[in-house]
Chains A and B, each alone.
Chain A
Amino acid sequence: MLTGESVDAIIYGALAALNAERDPGDQIPMSPDTALFGVDAMLDSLSFVSLITDVEASLNLDHDLEISLADDRAMSRAHSPYATVATLRDYILEVVTEP
C-alpha cells in the first residue's frame, strides 16, 4: 500500500537521478513545493519527461502498479497534477487508491 511518504520517496528518487546529471549550482530542490511543470518549473521539458517516466517505471516495476501518469484525465485537468511535487504525489495517491 502506497503512502504519501512512499510516493514522495519515489518522486525524490527520480529528482535525485536528474540532479546527478546537473551542475552543483543547478540542483532541483527536494521539496513538496518544487515546481515541476508550468511557468515556474525548475525542470526543462526533457527533464520533466524523464521525471514522469522514471516515476511511472518505479510504480510499475517496484510496486506492481500498471498506471499511466500521462493519461487523458491528467492532461485535461484545469489544475495540472504535475505542477509541484505535492500535486504529483496527491494525483498518484488518487489514481492508485481508486477502486
Chain B
Amino acid sequence: MTEDRAKYEGSVIVVTGARKGLGRLLAEYFLGEGGQVIGISRGNASITHARYSHYSMDVGDDRAVRAAFTKIARAPGRLDIVINNAAVLTSVHALLMPATRAEEMVRTNLLGGFYVAREAAKLMRRAKSGRIINIGSMAVALEPIGDSVYAATKAASMTLTGVLAKELGSYGITVNTLAVTALETDMLAQLPREKIDRVIAGLPLPRLATQDDIFNVVDFFASPRSSYVTAQTVFLGGVHA
C-alpha cells in the first residue's frame, strides 16, 4: 500500500534507550519509515544511518538532558515524537534490593522520562503539536514478585502520563503510555526463563509480544489522526490494570 510507505518522512523522533532492545527496534523502525531519529542512551550508538544521530548520556541526569535538547533545538530545531523508553530493571526480592539499584530505577525509569518529556515539550510547543509516548510495562498490572520498585516506577510513569497530558494538552501535545508485555530483549534476558514462561502463560493472550504488536500501537499514538487521544494507557496482550 503506497500510503504506508515512509509514514514518518519529515518527522523528527527522539528515542531514549536506543542502543539496544525495544528502543533500538523502534529507532530502526522509524528510520525505515523515513523518520529522522535522535537516539539517546548511556552507551555509544549501535545504529549507523544517514538520518540517525546519537547522544550518549544518562536520561536521569537533568543537566545532560537539558544540554542535549538545547542542541536539538538548534538542529534540527524541531521535534515531533518522543519515545520515552529508557529503563533499567533489577528484579530481586524486596528484602534483598540494594538501595543503589532501587534509586537507579527511580532516577532512570521515572525522573528520566520526566526530564525528557519536559524538555521535549518545550520544543514541541512551538509547533503546537507533539506526541510523547511513554513505554510502560505489564508489571504495573501483574505486580510480579521481585519487581516491586520497577513496577512502582512504571505505575508512577502512568500517573505522570495523565498529569502531563493535562498540562501539555493546550500546546497540542498528547501524552500516552504503551504498556508492553514481554518481548525478546536484553532486559527480558535478565529474568529467569521459568518466571517469564509463567507470566506469559497467565496472560489473556499467552504469547510473547512481537515487534509489530508494538509498532502498531506506537503508530496509533503517533498518528496525526490521534490528536484527540491523550492520557491513555494501552496494555498489550489483554493485560489490564
Interface pick from A6-14, A25-33, A53-61, A87-95: A53-61
Assess whether B125 is in contact with A53, with CB atoms less than 8 Å apart: yes
Assess whether A61 is in contact with B74, with CB atoms less than 8 Å apart: yes
Bound complex: CA A53 to CA B125 (Å): 10
Indicate which residue in B66, B70, B125 contacts A50 across the interface (CB closer than 8 Å).
B125
Q: Give the bracket for the number of chain B residues in contact with chain A.
A: under 10
Assess whether B70 is in contact with A60, with CB atoms less than 8 Å apart: yes
How many residues belonging to A are interface residues under a CB distance threshold of 8 Å?
9
Residues of chain A within 8 A of B74, CB atoms compared: 61
Interface residues of A in 20-71 (CB under 8 A from B): 46, 50, 53, 56-57, 60-61, 66, 68
Q: How many A-B residue pairs have CB under 8 A?
A: 16
- From A56, which residue of chain B is reached at the shortest CB distance? B122
Indicate which residue in A46, A53, A60, A61 contacts B170 across the interface (CB closer than 8 Å).
A46
Residues of chain A within 8 A of B70, CB atoms compared: 60-61, 66
Assess whether A66 is in contact with B66, with CB atoms less than 8 Å apart: yes
Assess whether A66 is in contact with B122, with CB atoms less than 8 Å apart: no
Residues of chain A within 8 A of B125, CB atoms compared: 50, 53
- From A67, which residue of chain B is reached at the shortest CB distance? B66
- From A64, which residue of chain B is reached at the shortest CB distance? B70
Given A46-B170, A61-B73, decide whether A53 and B67 contact each other with a Cβ distance below 8 A. Answer: no
Interface centre among A53, A61, A66 (most CB of B within 10 A): A53
Residues of chain B within 8 A of A60, CB atoms compared: 70, 73
- From B167, which residue of chain A is reached at the shortest CB distance? A49
Q: How far is the CB of A71 from chain B (nearest CB, A)?
A: 10
Q: How far is the CB of B215 from chain A (nearest CB, A)?
A: 32
Q: How far is the CB of A55 from chain B (nearest CB, A)?
A: 12
Q: How far is the CB of A46 from chain B (nearest CB, A)?
A: 6
Q: Name B's A-contacting residues (CB within 8 A).
A: 66-67, 70, 73-74, 122, 125, 170
Task: Write 7 A-B pairs (CB below 8 A) sorted by A numbering.
Answer: A53-B122, A57-B73, A57-B122, A60-B70, A61-B70, A61-B74, A66-B67
Q: Name A's B-contacting residues (CB within 8 A).
A: 46, 50, 53, 56-57, 60-61, 66, 68
A-B interface, 5 closest residue pairs, ranked by CB to CB distance from nearest: A60-B70, A53-B122, A61-B73, A66-B70, A46-B170
